[in-house]
Amino acid sequence: MTKKVLLIEDEPHIVEALSFLLRRESWQVEIHNDGIGAVNKVSELTPDLVILDVMLPNIGGMEILHDIRQNQQTAQTPVLMLTAKGQQKDRKAAEDAGASLFMTKPFSNQEIIASIRELVA
């Protein structure tokens, strides 16, 4: 069965590269590019995985993650956090907020695909 991935990211060229990679793996890709409405999108689409950027317009990724984990319907959804901040404290904050995995930009295509495979397996 085709896995559904929701990509919440505001950088259009990153979205384009990532969605190409995901579709190449035959996954269904949904895209949302703003902090506003992101949590509703997760509830509505019930994806197998959410790829969530930390720095989003209007509402930050950490806040969205917090809300995803608070919502009974979405609490168990695997979330891969993407960020340009790779400091230990950011990693810890993401883990504390309930991220399934934390990856820093720039990521390698092979690494992110391998991680996604594990998360949706």
Partner 1 sequence: MVRSLIGTRIRERRRAKKLSQTMLAEKAGISTSYMNLIEHNHRAIAGRTLLSIAESLEVDPKELTEGADHLVLTQLQEAANMISEKTVELNRLEEFVGRYPGWSNLCAKLYENIQQQEQRLQALSDRLGHDPFFSEAMHLMLSNVTVLHSTSDILATTDEIPAAQFKKFIQNMKTESERLSDTITKLLSYFDETTSTETQSPMLAPSKLDQFWEMHDYHLYELEKPELNPKAQIKKMMEAWNFQESGEQRLAEALVGRYASVADHLPLDEFIVAAVDYLYNPILLAQKFDCELHDVFFRFAHLPSEYDGQTLPQFGLIECDGSGGVLFRKPLKTLSLPHKSSACPLWPLYRAISQPMQPVRAIIETPTGESFLTVSQAVWSGLNNYTVPPTVKSAMVFTSDYQRFLPTHERRALPTIKVGMSCEICPRTNCSARRSDSILDN
Q: Residue 70, interface with partner 1 (CB under 8 A)?
A: no
- Please name which of 5, 9, 10 lies closest in space to residue 42, comparing C-alpha atoms: 5
Closest CA to 38 of 65, 11, 78: 65
111 binds partner 1 (CB under 8 A): no
Q: Does 108 bind partner 1 (CB under 8 A)?
A: yes
Q: What is the DSSP string of 46-60?
A: --SEEEEESS-SSS-
Closest CB to partner 1 among 64 and 77? 64
Terminal-residue alpha carbon distance, the chain: 11
For partner 1, the closer CB: 9 or 77? 9
Stretch that binds partner 1, among 13-21, 25-33, 39-47, 69-77 (CB under 8 A): 13-21
Alpha helices in the chain (DSSP H): 12-24, 38-45, 61-70, 88-97, 109-120
Residue closer to partner 1, measured from CB, 24 or 117: 24
Judged by the rule CB under 8 A, the positions of this chain that interact with partner 1 are 11, 13-14, 16-18, 20-21, 24, 55, 57, 60, 84-85, 105-109
